[in-house]
Amino acid sequence: MTRHLTVVDHPLVQHKLTLMREKETPTAVFRQLLREISQLLAYEVTRELPMTTKRIETPLTEMDAPVLDGKKLALISILRAGNGLLDGVLELIPSARVGFVGLYRDEKTLQPVEYYFKVPAELGDRMVIAVDPMLATGNSSAAAIDKLKEAGAVNIRFLCLLAAPEGVARMKEAHPDVPIVTAALDERLNEVGYIMPGLGDAGDRMFGTK
């Protein structure tokens, strides 16, 4: 049984994350580090991809060699910051199918509202990996997973860079069947919903916006 939360406590991941947290790290470096970390995290989140074997010939002999089985996995970017994680994971798994979920927070109700939803066909037959760098309150992540389940997804994982305990708890309550893989579990959310100590606004830092 997969754990609900996996923190990838690997020296390379932790070193790169520290560089990303530093406020003076320029946009281009931040983006490159995110790309590199996302590939290391992808290694962990795809650990349970189904395998089969195929008969091959090496220069010396024949063998039954392991290959991935089943339908191509689906990577779902939760807009807009998800795109930063998506790029790196796609480099590692170029044949993955890709979808996008766009949500914004209604200022009055504070509830997530969908403005874009486009996902690959036959979602129910694929491993689905939803990517969003910051698992903060967990409200938009849980809502995005709701939409993916409504679209037929049954085998879902959530990949993020940083998680707050509040977000992990929210996801566990809403989607206990969705394992979370992250580079770090930070201390808490501040009063305006930022992860502490965190790295600031991930979208702004990766795109150079304010």
Alpha-carbon distance 210 to 207, whole Å? 9
Residue 198 is a binding residue for ligand URA (CB under 6 A) = yes
Applying CB under 6 A, the span of 4-12, 106-114, 152-160, 187-195 interacting with ligand URA comes to 187-195
Residues that bind ligand URA (rule: CB under 6 A) add up to a total of 10
Annotated binding residues for uracil = 195, 200-202
* Residue 178, phi then psi, degrees to nearest 5: -105, 105
> Nearest approach, Cβ of 112 to ligand URA (angstroms)?
13
What is the DSSP secondary structure assignment for residue 72, as one 8-state letter?
A: P
SS3 percent helix, strand, coil of the chain, rounded to 5, is 35, 30, 35
Sign of CA pseudo-dihedral 75, 19, 30, 132: positive
Residue 194 is a binding residue for ligand URA (CB under 6 A) = yes
What is the DSSP secondary structure assignment for residue 65, as one 8-state letter?
A: E
Position among 17, 45, 73, 136 found at the interface with ligand URA (CB under 6 A): 136
Binding characters for ligand URA, 32-71, by CB under 6 A (x = yes) = ----------------------------------------
SS3 204: helix
**Residue from 106, 94, 165 nearest 140 by CA:** 106
Annotated binding residues = 80, 105, 132-140, 195, 200-202
Q: Supply 24's token pair.
A: 């003076």
The residues carrying an active-site annotation are: 105, 109, 201, 204
Residue 134 is a binding residue for ligand URA (CB under 6 A) = yes
Position among 34, 159, 178, 202 found at the interface with ligand URA (CB under 6 A): 202
Residue 195 is a binding residue for ligand URA (CB under 6 A) = yes
